[in-house]
Every structure is written in C-alpha cells, then in structure tokens.
Chains A and B, each alone.
Chain A
Amino acid sequence: MMNVAATEMLCWNAASLLVAVEPEDPKCFAEGMRDLTCFWEEEGSRSPDDYAFTYMYQETNEESSKCALTAQSVGGSKTRYICRLPSVQHFVPLDVSVFQDGRLIYNRNLLIDHVFLLDPPANVTVTQTGEQEQLRVCWLPPALMDMENSMMYEVEYAPTGSHMGKRESVRARSEIILHSLQPDTRYNIRVRAKPDGLSYSGYWTAWAPWVSMTTPPAEMDLLILALCVVISLILILLSLTLLLSYRRFLLKKVWPVIPSPENKFDGLFSVYGGNFHEWLGVGNRGFWWSPTFLLVEESPSPLEVLSEAGFTAPVPVHPMPFKALGLSKKEVEEDERTGGQDSVLMGRRKGKAHPHWVLEQLQSLDQPSVPCCELHTLEPSDTYVSLNYRSQQDSGAMSPLADISEESLPLQVLFESPGTPTSFSDLESVTYSSGSGEISSQSSLEYPYGAWPLKGPSYISMTVTDSGISTDYSHMSWGTTGLGDLAMAYTNEYKNKVPAPRLPPHGHTVYSYY
C-alpha cells in the first residue's frame, strides 16, 4: 500500500508536469523501460468503472487489451483516472482509446519509447576546477538500460539572488564545466534531463534540487605576475651592471676622496706624523728658501770698501768694509770680471796696513756715532770703497756674517785676528741703534724682499767714485739727507738690477755700505 502511495505521489508530480506540456489526452508517460502510465483528468468524481481504457499495438498480430483504471481526486473537484499497463512494447505504435460509458472520448496513437518521463538527474555535485571563473557540475545519468547514451541534459545556473539564469545543454555526457563565471560569487545550479530524441524521446524531467557553490576569488593572472617578476629582475640586473661598471665614478661622487697634501710635503705625514714643526726644523727649510735663496744669490750684495784716505771727518766706519763677508759671490765674480782693478783695489786695500787701518776703524767705531747727515764730498780723486755686506734676506737670528764669511775669505782673514765675526756684530750693535746684531742695510728698500731696517743716522754710506770714468754715479752722490737719498739712489739703481744687479762697468766698484 505504501509503495503504491509513494508511486502515486511520484506520479502526481509527473502528472503536473505533463499537464503543462502534453496537450493530448490521455497523457501517457513511461518512467522506465517496462511501464507506461496514462491518465486524464475529468471534472466531477465519477467512478472509474464508467470509463474503459483500451489499447492495441499496431503492426503486430496482437489484439486490443483493456487496462484497469484507478481514480484520484485532484484539487477538490477534479478526478484523475490512471491506467498502468503491465507490460509494454517498444518501437511499435500503441493505439489508446478511452471510452466513457461506451463512448469514445479519447484516442491517441503513440510510441511508448517516445514518451519517457524519467526521474531528474541524481547526485548533482558542483566543484571548483582550480581555474578562474569556472565550476564543474557532475550528476548521475539515469540508470536505465540502454538510456545512458541517449540522454541530453540541461544545466541552469545563476548567482544567488539573481533571477537571470543561464542554461547550458549537454549531450551524452554527465558533466559540464561552466565558463565565464563571476569570481568569488555563489552560484545556484540545477540540472534536468531528457532523451535525446534519436532512439528514445520524452519529456524534460523535473529539475534536480538546487546546488550551490562559490567560484574562486579573482587573482592576478599568473602570466602577468610572471612577466612582472621577469621585468623587475632584468631591471635589477641592469642597474647592478651599471653600478658595477661606474663603481669608481659613483664612489668618487658619493664618497669623495679627502685631498691630502702628502705629495706636496714630502715626509710630513710618513716620517713626522703630521708634526709640522718638526718637519720644518729638519733640512727641509732649504726647500722653503730655495726660491728666495736663489734670488738672494742672484742679487749680489755689494761690497763697500772704504779707502783709508779721503775721510774728511772721522766717521765711524763700519768695520764692515772688511767684512768682505758681505761680498757675495757675484761681486767676487764681478771683481774678477771687471778685471784686476777691483782686485787691485782689493789688493790695494790689502796692501795697506790693514791691521792699522782696522784699528783705526775700530777706534772710529768706539767713538760716538756721528750723525750721518754730514755730507762727505767725494772727490773724484778719492777712492772709496765701502763695504756693504748684506746679509741674506732673512731677518732671522742667523747671523749673516757667517754666510758671508764663507764667500769672502780673503778679507775675512784680515778680520780674524781682531775678532770673530761676532765681535763685529757687537761693534755694529754699538754703532747701530739696533741691538739686534743684524747688519742693517738698505737692501730692504733696494730689494723688495729684503728685511733690512734702516739704521740710525749714525750710519754713513760712502761712495767711491772714480775720477772720471763714468758719470753714472752722479746720482750716486748723496746728500745730507742721508739714508733716504741714498736709499732712493740705490733703490733706483738696484731695482733695475734685481736680481742680478750689475754695476756699471767701471774701474771702481761702488758699494754701498750700511
């Protein structure tokens, strides 16, 4: 009973389907390979005995048969009359006739294999395929013999909440892959089946229940990602290559080399550890003074030799005359160059009683200094040789006498007995207001690089003029103004002759003596 009821319930659903689809009556359908169910609905509630359902297979030698009817009440007023055939034959036309009270009301010719109404596909499963915007739908085909290859299916899918569903048809396969879906969206999917119509035909099955599945979320295209990675790698490699090739250049720009004066100061850092004072005190001074030293060498220091005669007034003659120490090499050379006259002069000087003359000089020095403003008239006949020893240009503590002494040995010898060169400096210090021990000269004025402080009026410079050789010394006569004029005179001459002041060729050398 229960089985019948269940079957009837199923039929009920199928019947509602057929009513909508099949226009002919009676509506017949086959749920399997061995059955056929026919029904029709009538108003009222008449007994099924009032109806007769006969059927006959054509093209066979069989006779017509009668089918037992059952009645069901439908929707209150209607009655459904159902006939189930015990056995069926396929591939032959079936002629069905319904009689009501002996009167034919329905007649229909059908092929049973054309009225299949199967169960909806079972076990519908939806899975993700691993690809973007795709879902795979699988189901079981009807388990009827010979029907598995004769089915077609229809899949309906729509995003949850949307009423715009799409349908896809499938033939002979029990799965489908849905494409072009929205990513990260929940889809509802259902399937129904129908015989394909070639060998068997029928009605669409009822829809299978909805099955939901979410599509995978959108992710970056793998190809684009791979391309980006490759391009970035290439850019990194290029930049590294550039950096490496211009490494030194960039390093100089970013981290510039701190200039070091090492190359200019030899040994300053390596030997003395940067101690500049130490480095100065040892031997390197020559380098400092070399340019000026050369210039100093270039500029001869004139030698003044005062002659014994012709001094109208005792003048404190600087013992320097014999300080041929101030005689530079150049002057010696000049003496030699100018001939033996100078040497003669020198010799003359030498010839004279030098010690005596020196003593006189010394005595004159002891005497209080006489203002130098006295003008000594120089007579041409007189020969004056004034010694001007000029120290080297430094104003350092170094005694220039020492250097000069090296160069003017012959005269120096004369002075050895009276004393060391230092004594002269002492005498000078007495003579000169400056107690520095330095021999002041006007070379400071004459020579721009000199540092010769002008001395006091005690200083007298005598010029030696020759009798009549040159007139160049006319301007050399000094007035009583003293040093200033002298300085100027000498300045004029010596400036022109710096660094190698050439005395005009004449028999006598004029020396300025300071």
Chain B
Amino acid sequence: MAMAPRKPRNREILFDSVIALVFILVACVDLCDGATVVDVYRLIQYDMSGVPFGSRLASLNHHAASLHFSPHADLSRTVLLIPLRELNMSFVQEYIVASKPLGGLIFLLPQMFNSENKGGVGSNRDDGNKDLLKNVLAELEQILIHTNLPYPVYFAFEDDNIDNVLLDIKKNDASGQPATATTGGYKFVVSATEPKKVGSPPITNIQGWLAGLKTDGDSHQLPTIAIVASYDTFGAAPALSVGSDSNGSGIVALLEVARLFSLLYSNPKTRGQYNLLFGLTSGGPYNYNGTRKWLQSFDQRLRESIDYAICLDSIGSWENDLWIHVSKPPENAFIKQIMEDFSSVAEDLGFQVNLKHKKINISNSRVAWEHEQFSRLRVTAATLSELSTAPELLESTGGLIDGRQFVNEASIVRSVKLIAESLAKHIYGHQGKNVQIFADNSNLAVNPSYVRSWLDILSRTPRVAPFLSKDDPFITALKKELEDHTDEVHLQREVLDGMFTFYDSTTAKLNIYQVASVTFDLLLLLVLGSYLIVLFSFLVITTRGLDDLISLFRRPPSRKVKTA
C-alpha cells in the first residue's frame, strides 16, 4: 500500500533532520564567555645566548587568589592577581627571584601607565605617590626581564570590572578559603597558543639624504654630518613598550631637525655646503646592532666624508642639563668643535651641556651608546642625552614606565633648538657670533604642535623590533615623513644577529569565570533527586492510592505470601 513506503521515507527525513540538529548543537560548544573579559599583555619571552628569560608559558587555566593568601597554601595551581599598589619587594624576592612554583601572575597596573588613556584621566584614586609607583614598577620590570619564570605572567590595567573581581577574591581569601575545585571562587582562563620563536627578527634602518650645495668645479665630495636616532624599544611587556622618552623623544627631534633643514636647503641661496644624513636605526636595545649593520653598508667614500655624527638618545625629560657622551678623547679637534658649538648655543638658551668621555673596550661586546658603533668604524661621533651614565644592557630601553605623561615636550623643543642651531653654526660658519637662525616667531621656528603630534603617535605605538614586520605601517609612515623632508630615502632590511631569540604571543584576552564548587553541584543533585522522588510518590498516592506505592516496593514478598 501507499502507507508502507511513505513511513520509512518520513522516518529517514526525520532522522536526517535530527542528525543535523545534533551537529548544530554540538558545534555551539564554546559559545559562552566569562562574565568579564580583560585585555592582558604578556611578559616578554626571550633567550639571550641560549639562556631563557621571561615568562615561558602563555596559556592559563587556574583559580585566582590575591596577595592575602594563607601562608602555607600551595600556589602551584593558582594565579596570583597583584595590584602594583600593594606590591612590596619582599614578596618579589621571595616568590619570583627564589623561583617558587606558581600557577601564574597577573600584575594590575594603575591607569596612569596606560598609553591608551588620554591625559591620565580615569583613576580617581590618589596618585600622589606617582614617583613611588614608578620606582616600584621600574625595579619590578628589571627583575622580571632578567628572571626565568616557568609560568605565565601578564600585565593588565585597573578598571571597574577587574577591581570588583579583586575585591571578591580578597574577601574569599580573608575568610580562609583558597579557591580550588571544591570550594568555588574565580577561575582565570587565557586561551593562547604555544609561543613560537620569531624566525628571523627583522630590523629596518631608514636613512634620508639631504644633499648640500655643490658649486661647479668642486672636485672634492662635500662633507657630511649625520644625525641618528634609534627608534625601537624593549620592555617587560612588548605590547606596551611605547618608549616615549627612550627613544620617542629622539625620533621626534630628528624629524623636526630634518624638517627645519629641509626648509633651509630648499632654497639654493641658503643651502649649506654640507650633506645631511638622517638615520633612523633599529636594534637599539641589542647593543645597537642595527646601527652597526647600517654603517657596514656604507661605502668607503661616504664613511670617510662624514665629519661627525650626532646620536640622539632620550632628550625628553630634562630640566637644566644635557650630556654629550664621546668615546674619542676630548682633545680631538672634532670633539672640541662639537663641544664649542653646542655649549655656546646652550649658554644662549639658558642651560648647560656637559661632556662625558667613556673609552671603548674593543673586547667587550657591550655597546652602551650609539656613537660607539661609529667610533668602532673610525667615524667621529657623540651622543646627546639627558642620561649622565651609560645604561646597562636592556635598561632604559622604553619599557613600562616610559609613558607619554612622563615626557615633557618643552624639553624636546629646547633640544631641537640646540641641535639645529649648533649644526647651523657649523654648517654656515657663524662661529662665535650670536646669531639665531631658528628664532621663535620666524618661519623657521621649532613647531611645538609637530613635536606634540608625533610624540602622541609614538606614545601609542609599541615598537619592539622582532614584532615590527618589515612592512609595518609605522615604518612606512616614518619613511614617508622622511621623504617629505629629504631628497632620497632608503630602507635597509636586515635580520637581528644571533645573540637574542624572541617568542611571540604578546597580547591575549583573559576570561574571568565565577565557578561553583563541585560540592554545590553534588548538593543540587541530591536536592533534585529527592524532589523527583517526592513528586513521584505524591503523584502515585494521589492518583493510584497509597497501597500502590507500597506495592511498588513490596511486590516479591507479597507474591510469596499469596502462593504460601
């Protein structure tokens, strides 16, 4: 009949649709997120000459605790959520330096260190101890960079959500119950892939050439003056290393000097008889590796034609003193010339420039200042900086504490004036005369809004070299800016030398879940089981009678009684 074949077909269709529905439902496995999702930034992970440093893991799935944990708790499966305000160095020493086992660490930084935060608004707490916090963070950063931590370490910024979570966690901890699988609490989950090595970390050097005035019949090549600044940074959290002072201030000063001299050089009547070479180098924190490769790419004639090079390093937060660091002895004629030019201009502008001499040790691979790379190739060079002593390796390289609010654009403006006037003195030969070429209110004045806008952009761009690909839009922007101010721009693409190896995975999202303990679920199961049993008994009694209920449990004996 017609019914028989139709039934199986209907059943098949039903079966197929049920299968499809099951597949759809199974696919919706991980659709729900935690109540709170926070952006977190991972501590850097790198190897230096094979020795591992930094945080070696990225994914996290543990219960959370605060600093008020009970002293004998086992923390190897717990994440500690630590606000910077409550951090004390004894804890750091005890747990981090002594390598005690931990499930993970999350540091909560005040909003004032957040470069995305405009103007430092957002924290209504007392930031009177700003300097104290800055020092604590600086110390913490140095310790973290030089320690091997076999667990994930993340940085996050304070905001309402995570502050509430922290309060809750503190309350739980104070009641003596650490969060584990049986007692409930908060669970922190970061799902990140295993960090992989960054294959060939790229370094890109950008150079701009501004040609001087060549009078006809001039058989000698014109002398060149180089102005150089390194643009990359290194810090505890590579996604947050914006390096406003170190070396954002140097980059901004270089761009402004380039702009001013391009105005002067645009008119052949005011073009000097010196070529100007502007260099934005990468690989600064790693012993100025990029600068060395850049210099090695020069051809011999160019290298010999450089009269001197001025390197800029951190000129954004000084008050009254700047230092010129040199490696050639101060009696050298060129060094004397440089010092004379700079100090006379500085005197006119109302501050002081000091000379500091540090000999290079050829056998030591440590390159503390950029000018040392020039000196190793026999080019006279000096570094202009607000730092009086040479920083150690991976120190003062634009880390967490180097934010926009700690840089003073007025200092940068003064530095630009100093550099521009001193160079002009040398180029146009106004030795000894009190002439101001880049006077205020002239059309060659230093433009503070140019300085400010570039400083703002730089303070929002993390620039750790291994994570800046060679086609990064930031590098393209620098190239375009130099093209506006110079005649020729070249990009030199290299690979960072072998001593450093970096690992990726620098940002992630932290999911915070409030979980119930297993005992709660068991209790619920018990309650539901008893509810269903009571319901069952109630329904049997009301519809079939009490005897039926009893008979459900006593059937076998009653049969025996009957047969007997």
Say if A and B assemble together. Answer: no
A residues at B contact (CB < 8 Å): none
